[in-house]
Structure 1
Amino acid sequence: MKISYKWLKDLIEINENPEEIGKLLTATGLEVEAIEEIESVKGGLQGVVVGQVLTCEKHPEADRLSLTTVDVGGENPLSIVCGAPNVAAGQKVIVATVGAALYPTGSEQPLVLKKSKIRGALSEGMICAEDELGMGTSHDGILVLNTDAANGTPASEYFGISSDYLIEIGLTPNRADAASHFGVARDLKAVLNRPVTLPSVAGFAVANQDLSIPVEVRNQEASPRFTGLTISGIHVGESPDWLKQRLQTIGIRTINNIVDITNYVCHELGQPMHAYDAAKIKGGKVIVTTLAEGTPFVTLDGVERKLSATDLMVCNAGDGTTPEPMCIAGVFGGATSGVSSETTSIFLESAYFSPAWVRKTAQRFSLKTDSSFRFERGTDPNMPLFALKRAALLIQEIAGGQVSSDIVDIYPESIEDFRVEMKYRNIDRLIGKTLDKELIKSILSNLDIQVENDTDVTFTAIVPPYRVDVQREADVIEEILRIYGFGQVELSESMSSEFLSDFPVNDPEKLRLRASELLAGNGFNEMINNSLTKAEYQQSLGDSLFGEPVKILNYLSEDLSVMRQTLLFSGLEVIAHNVNRRQRDLKLFEFGKTYHQTGDKYVEKERLSLFLTGNIQQESWTEKSREVTFHDLAAFVNQVLASLKIREVEKQEADKTIFKSGLTLFANKKPVVTLGLLNAAVTKKLDIKAPVYFADFDWEYLLRQYSAAVEYREVPKFPEVRRDLSIVVNKKITFEELKQIAYRTERQLLRSVNVFDVYEGANLEGKKSYSISFILQDEQQTLTDKVIDKSMQRLISAYEKEFEAVIRK
């Protein structure tokens, strides 16, 4: 929202500069995003003065140039070469002196005047035309003034050039009350404790009853209040400079004096208005109603729109049976009913429309206007009458005419103030500071909030209806605090809170979706399988499964006789089905439940399974195809765990009944994932000959371990150091064991351990060589060679002691 600093000063006494006003408004919640100086003529005509041509002669080297001397109020006249055909001695002219920066019409770049020679003649400035000053488009010749102004008078003073400051406010949706200069002035009134002065409407009077236009409101819910009057004998034309400058400062395009006044009042008071050409109101009557679904209507932009049965319209009587639309109420005017240069009388509308009705219509048509912006947030139902009189007086002042009807004010049910019961104790508690009761009442009074039924303990706050966001006790307290100032509430020596934070409950569906999207992004397809399966599948695994199978008492076939205890076989059935149809390269996952019985207790568990088989990489002209390996599966498993913030795991060899080779990963001593290459005996039951890799997650436990809290640690300022070791150990020793020993030995500096080469050969019978990298880092200082060597020696000693390792030089 854009506010003019000068316009604001008309409503409230302001001694502070725009920057100070910006800080005050931001502190109250009206965040000022930018402050920009706006000049009626760009550059402000600095260095441009009134001068008088003393002499004028033809340039000896150019027929179209003249040599002039010009008095600009200095000690000596200036020599200026001029190309204008109308220049002559004795003229009063506008002169840009050396150093002046002009912005010619249509140019964004300044023209800086320099002393120069033109065809050998000295030129110490420029006698200006209208377009060269940026004050018009004419370039027929220089501006010749009819004035007695002294030579050297600044052009900005002569032309009355003014400047203003544009204050741009990032208005939040709840602050509809501040969507005008008056609204912003009200906040300054509360902060500065200075009165706001609205323009007087005491001079409003009805001249005659020559043009009475009755109004019928058929939908009171959508239009709780509708006011209007007529003005006859107006002259539609260009607006005066002061009005144009006000609107242009806040970015409003001027149209004609009548439309400009309605826009002016809208931005001054926050009350949208609309003017209709009275001669175009058929039947001499205004009807506020909805029309049939699909009724066509051409808006001001020339677009034909199909109306909905829920769009409130301002209509005329039409043919006497069906109203004819003139305006989408509170949103956009019509193409045929507006004010034009031929208009001599108008019907002026000022209304309060339901925010919900306007919002739905504006969104349906994707129309965002100054009017809808205010109506859909909630305007002041007590403002239409005052705004109507204000606009009528401005129209009479600028466009002439006289009020030729009584005011129509249809307002059957008054919109009441909000009554909010308050407790002083709650004000002190929520603000965090005890405020004097008189100060509280003073702040509320400056916010137009009355205090009734005041006692030492409670009172009733009477909130005006234009404050649609202040309807609860906490809202009123927030108003007190934002005016008192957040910065004036001191922090206590010990921080505390009177409420518990709302720790979010993990949403299983969101976490499941996150994992699904991760896997799908890696090329996996999701399966959904039956929870009933063959009893013989699970019997073949013996004690490797949890508990006893849950049997179906009235099963329909042997293939569906028990509840599944594992997702393994339902996934293998899908693989077999696809392989039999020549789809051999598969990445599959399934979220599903398993069931088992322990004594009299039935247990249901949520699990996640992954399956890989065939080629992980398809052949192309740059690469050969590559079969799936254990490490491919492990990489996907680690990605899923990382998405759930499980990073530290311990590893053990997996059950040989199910896996030919594999690992079980533990988090907090609890097995969370088992993964590996399935035994051929398992896959053979479904006649699958290709290797199949399988991972089984305890999804239910992982969800319980997940925390949405974010952990942050400052990025170290000092560099890390890498050191490598080649170690020969017994071939049965795994890298995992070597890594755990490293972390136990060097707890302070060791950040990561990685194996980058493994070698087994005839010359290392019964042995294996690991090439391992160690990353060391001290977060407090740069590591020295002495400290690094000492750490590495500790690691070497630990390997030699624990594994009888041989360190290869």
Structure 2
Amino acid sequence: MYVSYKWLQDYVDLTGISPEELAEKITRTGIEVEDVEKKGEKLKKIVVGHVLTCEDHPNSDHLHLCQVDIGEEEPVQIVCGAPNVAAGQKVIVAKAGARIAGNVKIKKGKIRGEVSHGMICSLQELGFDGKVVPKEYADGIFVLPEDAEVGADALSLLNLDDAVLELSITANRADCMSMLGVAYETAAIFGKEVKLPEATVSETNEQARDYISVRVESEDSPIYTAKVIKNVKIGPSPLWLQNKLMAAGIRPHNNVVDITNYVLLEYGQPLHAFDYDRFGSKEVLVRKAYEGEKMVTLDGTERTLRQEDLVITNGKEPVALAGVMGGLDSEVKDDTTTILLESAYFNGTSIRRTSRYHGLRSEASSRFERGIDPTRVRQASERAAALIAELAGGEVLEGTVAHEELRVEPVTVKVDRTKINRFLGTDLSIKEVEDMIQKLQFEYTLDNETFVVHIPSRRWDISIPEDMYEEIARIYGYDKIPTTLPVGAQTLGHLTPYQQKRRVVREVLEGAGLLQATTYSLTSKEKFGQFALQPAEPVQLSMPMSEEHAILRDTLIPHLLDSISYNRARKNSDVGLYEIGKVFYGKGAHVQPEEVEHLAVALTGLYVNHPWQGEKVPVDFYTVKGILEALFERLQLAGIRYEKAEIDGMHPGQTAKIYVNDEVVGFLGKVHPTREKEYDVKNVFVFELDLEKLINMKSPFLSYTTIPKFPGITRDIALVVDQTQTAGELKDIIVSAGGKLLKEVNVFDVYVGDKVPENKKSVAFTLKYSDPERTLTDDEVNQVHENVVAALQSAGAELRM
């Protein structure tokens, strides 16, 4: 909402109050003032000029030589390129040495060999936004009224010595979507009176009801009024009216349309003027549109209507989208002589739906959506009719044809001084509370210490005592309310153990070079069930955004694959992502699904890429397993083992389930090539963990050992086993047989080829033996090592020589 400081002075005495002070006070009381703009602040030497002669420039096909009277002893010559400049016009002149918009300085100079002593200006060159400049002057200079005084200050004439406050109006303060609403707010802040505009109409003897009737068939229009005004002369609005509209961000059109916009800004009540002769009948019928019905709105667009749309019709066809925009066929034009003036109260929800569906946002719809004062419907109509009679020479027919079914119930709120002080933490006296209610210009009665406040219809946002407490706090001043500290024992904030471990997880993964991803919690029917850790019933949305986001996800991996595909399509082939998020397991209809926090990782491309050293290491199974082992080590988990598994969507030969203390916590491996093709990715390795289960597992007690003082002895052993036997199984046998002297067991080679029998493989281990108290002898190590070999041979392994 743009508020002209000078226009506001028509309703409230602002003597001694600067625009900046006004803005600061309004902001303090709860309505944010985003900006205070003074368009003419840096402009100077801008005057009214009179074009005496206008001739073609001898050295140009589009420039003109103008002799212009600017109120000095002699006329000055100005070279002008505007297509609409002509002799006899009153124009805006920037004299030599003037400053115009953009801090541009106008200098005396030669243009195509002819001297120019200044510049004839358009409104845009003075800082006006092009969208508010009248269409006839959009591509040329602005022509001032004939009575403009030559040599006078043009900035004052164009209201450029004004300040415009930009207010950010919240939904609950629709009353301030009008100049009168802002006037009441200003008056309450500074303890002033509001001067209401006069709306005295001299009516003719002819009856409006003889020209028009009103019939309403929808509950969405409880009030609809129509006035008829004859013998109207369409023309430009007076400059003062155009100035006020442009300051509010509205383009002037003609006197009648400008008056309806002026009253809309003044009262907050939208109006619409129809050309009576083009209206098409003597009946106004307000109804819901027929499905598929069409009409052309004022913007020249043909609209296909729905049954939900409220329309104004001439009894047969729509002539306006109620509360949103009028129709093109009945618009006021230069030859219009009779006006049908509409003023109505429409249901805000209905208007919002129509505005949103058709993509039409207007000054009228924005006010109906937020809510208007029903008592101003007739007031605004009378005010507009009076102005049309005054500025357009119209003759207002007697009476108003109306349909009125809305009963405005009075709203009364009781507030007690003690409760006010308890609520605000203040110690206000009866006199102080009384003074603030009077500033708000609310009527009231006082019973002991209880105020019975009668809320005016313009403040429909107030209905309960707490609303009045807020009003009193605003006017009293939020900055005056004493501050207090909470009473009671204070505790220091801290992270829970779960949150601390989750941070550790992030540190490990980001330390491994992965980037965090955040994906949708919703997935499609096709992706549901893929890569799932456990089977579950789908949890479907009743009104999904799309088929791609119709079901709550049961795994994180599919959307990580989508992210990798997105990166790959943009030539980013080396990607490592992780996500910590909730998955959902359905428990049947009408049962709350189980929410579990999971961790998933997806990697592809090169994990190490050092071009200078020529080192390139692609991601593989062991890259992902290494990240997992680093994570388990930081979480201090023991009893980790991996077991070959077959999981839907995963490569059968490169996938393993992850166990912690014999409990499955997740899986890792390579995505199946068929699934990779579906997602348009290549060579992707993933793992997913039940993070809640993992974090909530108890870690073993920490134990410490001294650094060994005595050297250890290593033995290498190569075993030939079935290809189905895993290295993990062999390692368990070695650890069990090795006893307390065996400290480390590591795989260093796996071989399959012509040196081993078919369906066999060779697995080689390094074993390290040591004792912290002494140096071991070869005999001691050999004895333990023989026990290890024997245990392996009992399990079917053969020594490879």
Pairwise same-fold verdict (TM > 0.5): yes
Structure 2 counterpart SS, 1:10: coil
In 2, the alpha carbon distance for the partners of 1:657 and 1:69 equals 94
- 1:156 is displaced (CA, Å) by 3.6
Q: Is 1:477 matched up with 2:469?
A: yes
Tell me what 1:748 maps to. Answer: none
Q: Between 162-171 and 610-619, report the one with greater CA deviation.
A: 610-619
1:286 to 284, 287, 292: 284
In 2, the alpha carbon distance for the partners of 1:307 and 1:530 equals 47
- 1:461 is displaced (CA, Å) by 3.0
Tell me what 1:34 maps to. Answer: 35
Compute the TM-score of the two structures, normalised by the length of structure 1. Answer: 0.59
CA gap 1:159/1:193 in 2 versus in 1, 3 angstroms: closer
Q: Alignment identity in percent?
A: 27
Tell me what 2:97 maps to. Answer: 99
Tell me what 1:699 maps to. Answer: 692
Q: Is 1:526 matched up with 2:531?
A: yes
In 2, the alpha carbon distance for the partners of 1:636 and 1:473 equals 60
**Which amino acid in the other structure matches residue 526 of structure 1?**
F
Structure 2 counterpart SS, 1:338: coil
Q: Is 1:9 matched up with 2:34?
A: no
- 1:444 is displaced (CA, Å) by 2.5
In 2, the alpha carbon distance for the partners of 1:131 and 1:616 equals 61
Q: Is the 8 A contact 1:258 1:395 kept in 2?
A: yes
Q: Is the 8 A contact 2:68 2:78 kept in 1?
A: no
- 1:36 is displaced (CA, Å) by 0.9
CA gap 1:147/1:203 in 2 versus in 1, 3 angstroms: closer
Q: Is the 8 A contact 1:605 1:700 kept in 2?
A: no
- 1:14 is displaced (CA, Å) by 0.6
How is 1:221-240 mapped onto 2 (pairs within 5 angstroms)? 221-240=219-238
In 2, the alpha carbon distance for the partners of 1:704 and 1:362 equals 56
2:388 to 386, 395, 409: 395
2:452 to 452, 460, 463: 460
Tell me what 1:736 maps to. Answer: none
**Which amino acid in the other structure matches residue 433 of structure 1?**
T
In 1, the alpha carbon distance for the partners of 2:284 and 2:70 equals 64
**Which amino acid in the other structure matches residue 14 of structure 1?**
L
Q: Is 1:337 matched up with 2:338?
A: no
Tell me what 1:315 maps to. Answer: 313
How is 1:594-633 mapped onto 2 (pairs within 5 angstroms)? 623=616, 625-629=618-622, 632-633=624-625
- 1:218 is displaced (CA, Å) by 2.7
Question: How many residue pairs align between the two structures?
Answer: 583
- 1:650 is displaced (CA, Å) by 4.7
Q: Is 1:113 matched up with 2:107?
A: yes
In 2, the alpha carbon distance for the partners of 1:9 and 1:148 equals 23
Q: Is the 8 A contact 1:352 1:381 kept in 2?
A: yes
Q: Is the 8 A contact 1:663 1:675 kept in 2?
A: yes
In 2, the alpha carbon distance for the partners of 1:206 and 1:174 equals 41
**Which amino acid in the other structure matches residue 443 of structure 1?**
M
Compute the TM-score of the two structures, normalised by the length of structure 2. Answer: 0.60
Tell me what 1:575 maps to. Answer: none
Tell me what 1:685 maps to. Answer: none
Q: Is 1:654 matched up with 2:639?
A: yes
In 2, the alpha carbon distance for the partners of 1:457 and 1:444 equals 14
Question: What residue ranges of structure 1 are gaps of 5+ in the alignment?
Answer: 54-58, 86-91, 318-322, 533-566, 568-586, 595-603, 642-647, 679-691, 706-726, 733-764, 769-801, 805-809
In 1, the alpha carbon distance for the partners of 2:605 and 2:156 equals 82
Question: What residue ranges of structure 2 are gaps of 5+ in the alignment?
Answer: 53-57, 82-89, 127-135, 503-515, 524-528, 538-553, 555-577, 587-592, 645-655, 670-684, 699-706, 713-741, 746-771, 775-801
Deviation digits for residues 578-625 of structure 1, max 9, x if unmatched?
xxxxxxxxx99996999xxxxxxxxx9987788999999699999564
In 1, the alpha carbon distance for the partners of 2:149 and 2:308 equals 63
- 1:276 is displaced (CA, Å) by 0.8
How is 1:219-258 mapped onto 2 (pairs within 5 angstroms)? 219=217, 221-258=219-256
In 2, the alpha carbon distance for the partners of 1:45 and 1:179 equals 33
CA gap 1:636/1:417 in 2 versus in 1, 3 angstroms: farther
Structure 1 counterpart SS, 2:341: strand
Q: Is the 8 A contact 1:207 1:403 kept in 2?
A: no
In 1, the alpha carbon distance for the partners of 2:123 and 2:519 equals 63
How is 1:134-149 mapped onto 2 (pairs within 5 angstroms)? none
How is 1:408-427 mapped onto 2 (pairs within 5 angstroms)? 408-427=401-420
How is 1:632-671 mapped onto 2 (pairs within 5 angstroms)? 632-633=624-625, 635=627, 650-654=635-639
Deviation digits for residues 654-702 of structure 1, max 9, x if unmatched?
167979x999999xxxx99978999xxxxxxxxxxxxx99876462685
In 2, the alpha carbon distance for the partners of 1:458 and 1:447 equals 17
CA gap 1:443/1:296 in 2 versus in 1, 3 angstroms: same
**Which amino acid in the other structure matches residue 8 of structure 1?**
L
- 1:424 is displaced (CA, Å) by 2.9
In 2, the alpha carbon distance for the partners of 1:611 and 1:208 equals 81
In 1, the alpha carbon distance for the partners of 2:144 and 2:348 equals 55
In 2, the alpha carbon distance for the partners of 1:52 and 1:609 equals 79
Q: Is the 8 A contact 2:231 2:393 kept in 1?
A: yes
Q: Is the 8 A contact 2:92 2:121 kept in 1?
A: no
In 1, the alpha carbon distance for the partners of 2:583 and 2:156 equals 81
In 2, the alpha carbon distance for the partners of 1:205 and 1:233 equals 13
Tell me what 2:590 maps to. Answer: none
- 1:93 is displaced (CA, Å) by 12
Deviation digits for residues 253-304 of structure 1, max 9, x if unmatched?
1111100000000001101000111112333111111132111111111111
In 1, the alpha carbon distance for the partners of 2:197 and 2:459 equals 22
- 1:423 is displaced (CA, Å) by 3.3
- 1:341 is displaced (CA, Å) by 1.0
In 2, the alpha carbon distance for the partners of 1:345 and 1:333 equals 17
Structure 2 counterpart SS, 1:100: strand
- 1:22 is displaced (CA, Å) by 0.6
Q: Between 439-448 and 153-162, report the one with greater CA deviation.
A: 153-162
Structure 1 counterpart SS, 2:473: helix
Tell me what 1:430 maps to. Answer: 423
CA RMSD of aligned residues (A): 5.9
In 2, the alpha carbon distance for the partners of 1:183 and 1:329 equals 24
Structure 1 counterpart SS, 2:624: helix
CA gap 1:618/1:362 in 2 versus in 1, 3 angstroms: same
Q: Is the 8 A contact 1:45 1:155 kept in 2?
A: no
In 2, the alpha carbon distance for the partners of 1:357 and 1:117 equals 58
Tell me what 1:126 maps to. Answer: 117
How is 1:757-796 mapped onto 2 (pairs within 5 angstroms)? none
- 1:472 is displaced (CA, Å) by 2.2
Q: Is the 8 A contact 1:278 1:346 kept in 2?
A: yes
In 1, the alpha carbon distance for the partners of 2:31 and 2:596 equals 51
How is 1:146-157 mapped onto 2 (pairs within 5 angstroms)? 155-156=153-154
